[in-house]
Chain A
Amino acid sequence: MFLINCPYCGERDQSEFTAGGEAHIVRPKQPTELSDDQWAEFLFMRKNIKGVQLERWNHAHGCRKWFNMARDTSNDRIHAVYKMGEKPPIK
Chain B
Amino acid sequence: MKNKYSIFSLIKNAFSYHENWQRAWRDPEPKNEYDAVIIGGGGHGLATAYYLAKKHNMSNIAVVEKGWIGGGNTGRNTTIIRSNYLWDASAGLYDHALKIWEGLSQELNYNVMFSQRGVMNLAHNLQDVRDLKRRTHANRLNNIDAVWLNTEEVKKFCPIINTSQDIRYPVLGGTLQRRAGTARHDAVAWGYARGADAMGVDIIQNCEVKGIKRNGDSVEGIETTKGFIKTKKIGVVAAGHSSVIANMVDLKLPLESKPLQALVSEPVKPIIDTVVMSNAVHAYVSQSDKGELVIGAGTDAYVSYTQRGSHDVVEGTLKAILELYPIFSRMKMLRQWGGIVDICPDASPIISKTHIKGLYFNCGWGTGGFKATPGSGDLFAHTIANDEPHKLNADFNINRFVSGDLVDEHGAAAVAH
Contacts and interface: CB of A to CB of B under 8 A. Distances in A.
Interface of A: 1, 14-15, 18-19, 21, 36-37, 39-41, 43-50, 53, 55, 73-76
Given A1-B312, A36-B403, A40-B402, A48 B303 contact: yes
B387 to A, nearest CB: 22
Contact of B304 (A40, A44, A76): A76
Interface residues of B, number: 26
Given A1-B311, A14-B310, A45 B305 contact: no
B393 interface: no
Given A37-B402, A40-B401, A46 B305 contact: no
A36 B402 contact: yes
A19 B256 CA distance: 12
Given A1-B311, A19-B301, A47-B247, A75 B306 contact: yes
B241 A46 contact: no
A33 to B, nearest CB: 16
B53 interface: no
A18 to B, nearest CB: 7
B244 interface: yes
Interface of B: 241, 243-244, 247, 252-257, 301-306, 309-312, 342, 345, 401-404
Given A14-B310, A37-B402, A48-B253, A55 B303 contact: yes
A46 B311 CA distance: 27
Contacts of B312: 1, 15
Contact of B254 (A46, A50, A73): A46
A73 B304 CA distance: 5
Contacts of B253: 45-46, 48
B303 A1 contact: no
22 contacts: A1-B309, A18-B301, A19-B301, A37-B402, A39-B402, A40-B254, A40-B401, A43-B345, A45-B253, A45-B401, A46-B243, A46-B254, A48-B255, A48-B303, A49-B243, A50-B241, A50-B305, A55-B302, A73-B305, A73-B306, A74-B306, A76-B306
Contact of B401 (A1, A44, A48, A73): A44
B346 to A, nearest CB: 9
B224 to A, nearest CB: 17
A15 B310 contact: yes
Nearest to A15: B312
Contacts of B311: 1
A46 B256 contact: yes
Given A21-B256, A36-B402, A41-B252, A47 B306 contact: no
